[in-house]
Amino acid sequence: MTREFPLAPLERIFKDVGASRVSQKATEHLRDSMLEKGEEIARKAIAASKHAKRVTIKSSDIKMACK
């Protein structure tokens, strides 16, 4: 799993929801958690598209995978 996702957008998420200060470790943990969840969603979406005999992942596959 790649960990090259930048931290700045995640810091903005914290700020947007009202955090005045956030440690780097907390931001890194959020990144890791979001990447893990994203991979889980991607796997489910891929399975849905294969089940439908499609190669292309559609937004409906992502929506279904998020449920």
Sign of CA dihedral 13, 15, 20, 24: positive
Note the Cα 46 to chain centre separation in Å.
15
Residue 48 pLDDT class (50, 70, 90 cuts): very high
> What is the C-alpha separation between 47 and 41, in angstroms, rounded?
10
The string of pLDDT tens digits covering residues 8-44 is 999 999 999 999 999 999 999 999 999 999 999 999 9
Q: Identify whether the C-beta of residue 41 lies closer than 8 Å to the C-beta of residue 66.
A: yes
Domains of the chain: 8-66 (1.10.20.10)
- Check whether 1 has a pLDDT greater than 70: no
Entry pTM? 0.82
